[in-house]
Structure 1
Amino acid sequence: MKYHIMPVTAFSQNCSLVWCEQTGNAALVDPGGEAPRLRQEVATLGVTVKEIWLTHGHLDHVGAASSLAAFYDVPIVGPHRDEEPLLASLPGQCQMFGVETTPPLTLDRWLADGATLSIGKLSFHVLHCPGHSPGHVVFWNKAAKFILMGDVLFNGGIGRTDLPGGDMPTLMRSIHHQLMPLADDIAFLPGHGPMSTLGHERRTNPFLQ
Structure 2
Amino acid sequence: MSRCSYIERGKYMEYRRLILGPLDTNCYILYNEKSAESIVVDPAAEAEKIIDVLNEIRKTPKVVVLTHTHFDHIGALKDLKDAYKDMKILLHPLEKDMLKSQSGFARFFGIKIKEPPPADGLIDEGDVLQLGDDRLEVLYTPGHSSGSISLLNKNDRFIIVGDLLFQGSIGRTDFPGGSFEEIKRSIQKKVYSLSDDFIILSGHGEKTRVGVEKKENPFVRGETI
TM-score, normalised relative to structure 2? 0.88
Match of 1:109 in 2: 121
Does residue 149 (structure 1) correspond to residue 140 (structure 2)? The answer is no
Name the SS of the counterpart of 2:159 in structure 1.
Answer: strand
Aligned pairs for 1:196-207 within 5 A: 196-207=208-219
1:52 aligned residue (46, 64, 72): 64
2:78–2:114 CA contact under 8 A, matched in 1 = no
The AA in structure 1 aligned to 2:168 is: G
User: For residue 111 of structure 1, what is the amino acid of its counterpart?
Assistant: I
1:138 maps to what in 2?
A: 150
Structure 2 unpaired stretches of 5+: 1-12
- Cα distance in 1 for residues equivalent to 2:114 and 2:178: 21
Structure 1 partner of 2:51: 39
Cα 1:135–1:105 shift into 2, 3 Å: farther
Greater CA deviation, 5-14 or 15-24? 15-24
Q: Give CA-to-partner distance per residue, 1:69-116, whole Å, 9 cap, x none.
A: 221223334321011232121122122111224325410111111111
2-structure distance, mates of 1:47, 1:140: 21
Residue 42 to residue 161, structure 1, CA distance change in 2 (3 Å): same
Q: Distance in 1 between matches of 2:219 and 2:207?
A: 17
The answer to whether 1:21 aligns with 2:33 is: yes
User: Secondary structure of the residue that 1:206 maps to in structure 2?
Assistant: coil
Mean alpha-carbon deviation: is it higher for 119-128 or for 76-85?
76-85
- One-letter amino acid of the structure 2 residue matched with residue 53 of structure 1: V
> CA-to-partner distance for each residue in 1:114-150, whole Å, 9 max, x for gaps?
1111122211000000110010000001111111111
Q: Is the contact between residue 168 and residue 216 of structure 2 (CA under 8 Å) also seen in structure 1?
A: yes
Q: Distance in 2 between matches of 1:18 and 1:115?
A: 17
Worse-superposed segment, 69-78 or 170-179 = 69-78
Secondary structure of the residue that 2:122 maps to in structure 1? Answer: coil
Alignment correspondent of 1:93: 105
Q: Secondary structure at the match of 1:181?
A: coil
Q: Is the 8 A contact 2:96 2:119 kept in 1?
A: no
SS in 2 for 1:160: coil
1:179 maps to 191
Cα distance, 1:38 vs. partner? 1.4
Indicate conservation of the 8 Å contact 1:54/1:76, yes or no: no
Partners of 2:38 and 2:87 in 1: how far apart? 12
Name the CA distance, whole Å, in 1 between partners of 2:95 and 2:150: 13
In structure 2, the CA distance between the partners of 1:106 and 1:100, relative to structure 1 (3 Å rule), is same
Equivalent pairs counted in the alignment come to: 209
The question of 1:170 aligning with 2:182 is answered: yes
Q: Structure 1: state its 5+ residue gaps.
A: none
Residues 151 and 191 in structure 1, CA contact (< 8 A), matched pair in contact too: yes
Q: Which residue of 2 aligns with 1:158?
A: 170
Q: AA paired with 2:49?
A: R
Aligned partner letter, 1:119: L
RMSD: 1.4
Q: Return the structure number with greater helix share.
A: 1
TM-score (norm 1): 0.94
Pick one of 60, 66, 88 that aligns with 2:78. Answer: 66
Aligned-residue identity in percent? 35
